[in-house]
Amino acid sequence: MKIKRVFLTKANEIDEVVKYSIHESRIVDMYIHDTYNDSGQLVGHTDAGDWSVLNHGCDLYDDCLKAIKEQFLNGLETDYIEIQDDFSIYWSGWDSDGNNVALSEDKKAEIRKWVKDYEEKNSYYGECRGFNYWDGRNSRTVVVSNEFDDFKSHELIDDKDLIKELNEAVSESEFYKEGPGYREYRYGKWSLICSQWEGHFEEFEISEITEE
């Protein structure tokens, strides 16, 4: 079965000197909150700007808290309430007589299910196309597109002639040399590096051969 490849460059690079070959199947539809930032941490709903009860900075979160109070905590005073990442709530408060009140496990489970249903009915998550990978030290993400391209880290090469040329270079290249953690192949004007060093996600890092 013939492997289908795509070729990438880093986003916003004017000269686009280095190209990266990967298998096309690696690029998938993803939610932005499931990607990783430059520190190797999950982006999460807040930094992704999701319309979600898990984004404590959006109006949906406030609306959900208000609804919880009205539907489940009627007659109780609230000192503090927060929706947690598993859709459970952290709540502390008291009754009309000033006595501290603890929610029963059944009540907590009922509220958690209601919050999850509320999220499913009302949320909107930002989407992108790309893939996660382990760079040898941290989890990372390559993003090739999203709605406003503000999360994009790389761009897909769409020049058909260049794609044909790069595919030919990958298919026909021959071993040239190797060093610590890498092997170099060459074909025509192209150098193709297969690296085992951390930070690399690509099958080959491809660039034009410079004079030695």
pLDDT value of position 15:
67
Report the half-sphere exposure of 180 (CA within 13 A, side-chain side).
Answer: 1
For the beta sheet containing 182-187, the strands, ordered from the edge strand earlier in sequence to the opposite edge, are 154-156, 5-10, 19-23, 204-208, 190-195, 182-187, 174-179
Angle between helices 59-72 and 105-122 (to 10 degrees): 140
| Two structure tokens written together for 158 | 């769409």
Fill in the DSSP letter of residue 43: -
Mean pLDDT, all residues of the chain: 93
Write out pLDDT tens, residues 93-149. 988 888 888 899 999 999 999 999 999 999 999 999 999 999 989 999 999 999 887
Write out pLDDT tens, residues 8-26. 999 887 767 899 999 999 9
E strand or H helix at 166, and its extent?
helix 160-172
Closest by CA position to 70, among listed 118, 30, 141, 26: 118
On the question of pLDDT at 76 being above 70, the answer is yes
| Two structure tokens written together for 186 | 């060459």
* Domain residue ranges of the chain, discontinuous segments joined by +: 5-50+126-208, 59-122
pTM, rounded to two decimals: 0.86
Write out pLDDT tens, residues 184-196. 999 999 999 999 9
